Amino acid sequence: MRSRHIGAELRSKSRRWHTASVRWLYGYTALFGISLTLLVGFVAWIASGAIERATDSIMGWQLTYFESIPDHRLDDAIRMRLEHEHMHTNYYGLFLPNGTYVSGDMLVPPANLRLDHRGYTLYRSLSLRDAGPAPIMRAMGEVRANGMHLIVARDMTSVLKIREVVLRSLVFGGLGALAVATAGSMVLSMRQLARAKEIRRVTEGIALGDLSQRVPVGGRDELDMLAHLVNHMLDEVERLMGEVKGACDGIAHDLRTPLVHVHTLLGHLGERPIVAADPHGAQLLECARAETDRLLERFRAMLRISEIGTLKRRGGFAIVDLQELVQELGTLYEPLAESRELAWHVKAMPVAAVHGDRALLFEAFSNLIDNAIKFAPHGGTVSVTLAKTALGPLLEVTDDGRGIPQDERAAVLQRFYRSHEARHTTGSGLGLSIVAAVMHVHDFTLRIADGNVQQRSGTRMSVACWPTTLVNEI
């Protein structure tokens, strides 16, 4: 039992992560991540463009300055510039049209660099004097009037480092904001899930027949608006069902009293000498008394079903030893089985005790056994088995009669329904309705199957003595 509860708790926790609130949280996190990625990419693109435009402007002014210097003094001007370059962020190179080095700290002109006064980014492709290849450079060149190639370059490493710091701060700040937002969303989601869990607990009780419960109301959000509407609907449903039930119970009770009087009068009439002298009249009178008995039996069963349905959920429940109960039923019905020369088999294994109403379970199981004996052929076999399963006790009552057709197995649990095979058998058609009512009160499950699967004959009535929500797991 403990392992079953632990399993149910784990399943409940796993379902918690598949709720709508958590799915919205997943979607929000994904949307935030995509937005953050696009934002970082956009900022990087804008920053790179601004840096490149500022660098190109500086190099453009440098080329403009060199254009004002005559060709024979250009070599001295470049050398002077290099001597006064303290941070050494600018690089110069003067080359002949065939690429031969003339002056500057660039030893080789960059390959595929267009000399059109436009800036180009170079990645580790400049060969510099007294230094290794520059990591990232922005270069611009022109062809002077004498045909020589003048190239100006600027180191972008420090500027790009600042850009990386800004982008890294933006990324980590965004991730931090995402973590805070996710934690806040989780807190709000858990609060909503707790409310939804309470609403689910109440609605499950309502679905099981306890219309006195109401959905909790704790605020003024959408859930509370829905809770108010549901509670109002439940008030109306409970009122209408109470009126219908009261009318039906009143009719059954009021009709039962005159029927009892009629039955008594028919008994007195049968004792009259004039009736005893008329065999045909005595036979008709006996038939009338039998029909009256049948009507009284039906009214008693109807009132019993109504009484079971009005029981408070688990109000009078206690621990029930099913093994002892089944053994008691086996002893009680053994003489009836012997009178019909039936092969009578009762096997009650030790099983875990259940929480229920012993009197109701005794009545329900008695109906199942009585039906099995009634519909088993003379000299047939009836077996009652109480077995232990992983989820709880399982009671099976099996006979080798004609069985219940597949299309009638749901209908036989309804009131007054009698299958074609049972129309000539005494009974009110309410026995299985009482069983179904008792199973509903206990949240147990009643299943109908073939007693002999190969021959598709007989009937097996199975009662799963554990909550209905776990039935589909076996």
pLDDT tens digits, one per residue of 184-207 = 777 777 777 777 777 788 777 777
| CB-CB contact of 465 with 392 (8 Å) | yes
Tens-digit pLDDT profile for residues 255-274: 666 767 776 777 777 777 77
What burial class does residue 316 get, using C-beta atoms within 10 Å of its C-beta: 0-12 exposed, 13-18 middle, 19+ buried?
exposed
**CA dist., res. 363 & res. 367, Å (int):** 6
Please say whether the beta carbons of 337 and 373 come within 8 A. Answer: yes
Residue spans of beta strands (DSSP E) within 312-408: 318-320, 343-348, 354-356, 381-388, 393-399
Q: Where are the domains of the chain?
A: 74-159, 244-309, 318-473
pLDDT tens-digit map of 14-23: 455 556 666 7
pLDDT over 90, % of the chain: 13
Region 306-314: mean pLDDT is 56
What is the DSSP pairing of strand 381-388 with strand 343-348?
A: parallel
Range of 73-82, 221-230, 239-248, 300-309 with top mean pLDDT: 73-82
Identify which of 463, 361, 393, 466 has the alpha carbon closest to the alpha carbon of residue 5. 466
Most confident listed range (34-48, 89-103, 460-474): 89-103
Using CB atoms within 10 Å of the CB of residue 401, give its burial: 0 to 12 exposed, 13 to 18 middle, 19+ buried. buried
Picking from 141, 138, 112, 142, the residue whose alpha carbon sits closest to that of residue 48 is: 138
Which pLDDT score is estimated for 3?
A: 41
Taking only the tens place, the pLDDT of each residue in 445-454 is 889 888 776 6
Burial of 203 (0-12, 13-18, 19+ CB in 10 A): middle
Residue 298 pLDDT level (bands cut at 50, 70, 90):
low
What's the DSSP call for residue 97? T
End-to-end CA distance of the chain: 15
Per-residue pLDDT at 418: 55
Beta pairing partners, 320: 354
pLDDT in tens, 343-383: 999 999 999 999 888 888 888 899 899 989 988 888 899 99
Model confidence at 473, pLDDT cuts 50, 70, 90, reads very low
| Superfamily of domain 318-473, CATH level 4 | Histidine kinase-like ATPase, C-terminal domain (3.30.565.10)
Task: Tell me the longest C-alpha to C-alpha distance in the chain.
Answer: 159
Q: What span, in angstroms and rounded, lies between the C-alpha atoms of 407 and 298? A: 25
Q: Which of 87-91, 111-115, 366-370 has the lowest mean pLDDT?
A: 87-91
Backbone φ and ψ for 423, nearest 5 degrees, come out as -70, -25
Identify the three-state secondary structure at position 188: helix
Nearest-angstrom CA–CA distance, 123 and 105 = 17
- Choice among 12-16, 442-446, 468-472 with the minimum mean pLDDT: 12-16
